[in-house]
Amino acid sequence: MTFESLGLNPQILKSLTEAGYTAPTPVQEQAIPAAIAGRDLLVSSQTGSGKTAAFMLPALHKLTDQPGEAPQGKTPNQAAQSARSRGERPRFKAAQPKMLVLTPTRELALQVTTATEKYGRGLRRVQAVSILGGMPYPKQMQLLSRNPEILVATPGRLIDHMESGKIDFSQLQILVLDEADRMLDMGFIDDIELIIGKTPETRQTMLFSATLDGMVGNMARRITRDPMTVQIASASTRHENIDQRVHFVDDLSHKNRLLDHLLRDASMDQAVVFTATKRDADTIADRLTIAGFAAAALHGDMNQGARNRTLNGMRRGQVRVLVATDVAARGIDVPGITHVFNYDLPKFPEDYVHRIGRTGRAGRQGTAVSLVNHAEGVHVKRIERFTKQVIPVDVVAGFEPKRTASAAPRRPGWRPGDGRKPGNSKPGQRTFSKPGNGPRKEGSGSRTFRSDGRSGEQRRG
C-alpha cells in the first residue's frame, strides 16, 4: 500500500516524502480513504501508530480541494486595518474555522499543529493554529484574526473564545476528538458537549481513543453518524518478547518483600520500578539503597543534571534498579533493562504499554511484573482489554497472597495507584529485607504490618 493509492493530493504526497514517510501505517490505510469519502470514524489504536496523519491528511486533502476563498475580499485583519485607517473603530470578525481538533493537553495540541504544518507545507490557503490555556490572550486574538481554516484547541480555552464571540463554528466541516478517552478522564465531558452543540449537524466527526469502551463509546455513538470503526493492535505493541505477569499482594509490606525477592532474581540485569508518585519514587529508591541494591530515583522534580547523571549511571550499569515515574521514564532506551516492575499500576492502560516497552529492547527477552492489590483486579482487566492480551497471574512460593483476587471487595471511587492512605506512606514505614535473606513471615522482626487501605488522590509523576 502506498500513499498515492489512497488518493491524496500531490502536494501532500510531496510533504510526506520530505517527512520520510514511505508507506501508510495500518491505521492510516483504513482511516484515510474512509475519511476522504466523508465517513465518520471511531478509531482505537496504540500510541505511535500514526493517528495524527490518519485524520490530518484526509482533512488537508479535502480542505485544499475546495474552491479558493482567500483571494476574495480581505482577511479579518486587513479589514480591521482599513477600518482603522478610515478612523473607524475596527470590529473583530469572528474566526470561522472549517476544522476543529480537540486535544486533552497543550503539548498534544502543539504536536498536532506542528504535524499539520509538516503535512500541509506545500498547500496554500490551509493554516492551522493552536488555541491553548496559558497562551497570552493578545497572541490568541492575533492568531484568530487570521481566520485559520484549522483550529487545534484544548476545550477550556476554546470555550472562553466562543463565549466572547471570537469563534463561529457555523462553517465547520470536520471535527476531530484526539485522545478522547483522556479528555473524558480529565473531566472535559461537559465542555466537549457544549462545543459540539455549537457545530453544524452536517459536520464529519472523527474520534480517536485508546479504547472505545465505556464512557468514550457512549459519547462516540452520540456524536457520530453511521461511523466506521477502526481498531488496530499492531505487532510491535503486542510485546511478544516480554513475559508479563501479575502478582497479587495483600498489603504494602507484602508488596515490598515480594519486590525485594524478585529483584534478587539471578536472571535480572537491570530493572525499572514504576511508581505512581515522585515521592514514592524517592522513598522506594532510598529503601532499596538501604537494603543493599544499587538503586536510584528518576522523576520530574529532579533537575536536569541529576536526571542525566542517573540515566548515565543506568547506561553504564552502575545503577541496577531505577525507580521512576511514567513521565520521567518515557522513552528510556537501555538494553540492559531485563525487568520492569509496576509497583503501582499506571493510571492509563496506554502507560502500561509504554512502561513494559522499557524492557525487551533490541530483540531481547524482557520480563514485566505488576504487583497488584486485590482490589486492583479490575484495572488489570482494563489493561488486558487495551492490549488484547491476558496477563497470567503468578505466585512465588513463600509469598502467596492470603486472599484470592475474586474475593476482594471493590471500593467505589477507587483509582489505580491509590495504594495507600495518605498517612500510611511515611518513608519509615516502608520495609525491605536485605538481599540474600529468604522470605520472612508477616510481622516478624521489626517490620510494620498494615492493611492496604485505600483512598485519596493520586499525584502523577
The yes or no reply on residue 354 touching Mg ion (CB under 5 A) is no
Q: Smallest distance from the beta carbon of 105 to ligand ADP, in angstroms?
A: 13
Contact between residue 342 and residue 371 where contact means Cβ atoms under 8 Å apart: yes
Following DSSP, what letter does each residue of 414-432 receive, concatenated?
--TT--S-GGG--GGG---
- The size of the interface with ligand ADP (CB under 6 A), counted in residues, is 11
Nearest to 36 by CA among 64, 16, 69: 64
Q: Decide: is 107 part of the binding site for ligand ADP (CB under 6 A).
A: no
| Distance separating alpha carbons of residues 331 and 358, to the nearest angstrom | 7
Identify the CA nearest to 429 among candidates 252, 249, 250: 252
Task: Find cell 485505600 and name the residue.
Answer: 454
Asked if 2 touches ligand ADP (CB under 6 A), the answer is no
**96 interacts with, out of Mg ion, ligand ADP, none, CB within 5 to 8 A per kind:** none
49 binds, among ligand ADP, Mg ion, none (CB under 5 to 8 A by kind): ligand ADP
Site for ligand ADP in 28-67 (CB under 6 A): 28, 47-53
**DSSP at 224:** -
Find out whether 393 and 240 touch, Cβ atoms under 8 Å: no
Footprint of Mg ion on 48-87 (CB under 5 A)? 51
The C-alpha cell at 54 is 490518519
Distance in Å, CB of 220 to Mg ion, minimum: 16
Residue 459 carries which DSSP code? P
Selected from 8, 11, 21, 217, the binder of ligand ADP by CB under 6 A is: 21
3-class DSSP state of 361:
coil
Q: What are phi and psi of 258, to 5 degrees?
A: -70, -40
Q: Is 341 in the site for ligand ADP (CB under 6 A)?
A: no
Residue nearer to Mg ion on the CB measure, 154 or 244: 154
Classify burial at 68, counting beta carbons within 10 Å of its beta carbon; exposed 0-12, middle 13-18, buried 19 or more: exposed
357 contributes a contact to ligand ADP by CB under 6 A:
no
- Binds 21: which of ligand ADP, Mg ion, none (CB < 5-8 Å by kind): ligand ADP
Q: Which of 6, 8, 13, 24 binds ligand ADP (CB under 6 A)?
A: 24
- Return the number of the residue (6 or 328) whose C-beta is nearest ligand ADP: 6
Query: Are the C-beta atoms of residues 23 and 2 closer than 8 Å to each other?
Result: yes
Residue 176 engages ligand ADP in binding (rule: CB under 6 A): no
Rounded Cα–Cα distance for residues 158 and 154 (Å):
6
**Residues 421-440 contacting ligand ADP, CB under 6 A:** none
Rule CB under 6 A: choose which of 15, 25, 277, 367 binds ligand ADP.
Answer: 25
CB of 458 to Mg ion, least distance (A): 23
Comparison of 302 and 353: residue with beta carbon closer to ligand ADP: 353
Q: How many positions of this chain bind Mg ion (CB under 5 A)?
A: 1
What does the DSSP assignment read for 36-78? HTT--EEEEE-TTS-HHHHHHHHHHHHHHHSPP-TTSS--HHH
Indicate the residue among 43 and 337 with the shorter CB distance to ligand ADP.
43
Nearest CB to ligand ADP, comparing residues 47 and 289: 47
DSSP 87-111: TPPP-PPPB--SEEEE-SSHHHHHH
Cross-strand partners of 367: 243, 339
Scanning 43-51, 151-159, 261-269, 339-347 for contacts with Mg ion by CB under 5 A, the matching segment is 43-51
* Chain contacts with ligand ADP (rule: CB under 6 A): 21, 24-25, 28, 47-53
* Chain contacts with Mg ion (rule: CB under 5 A): 51
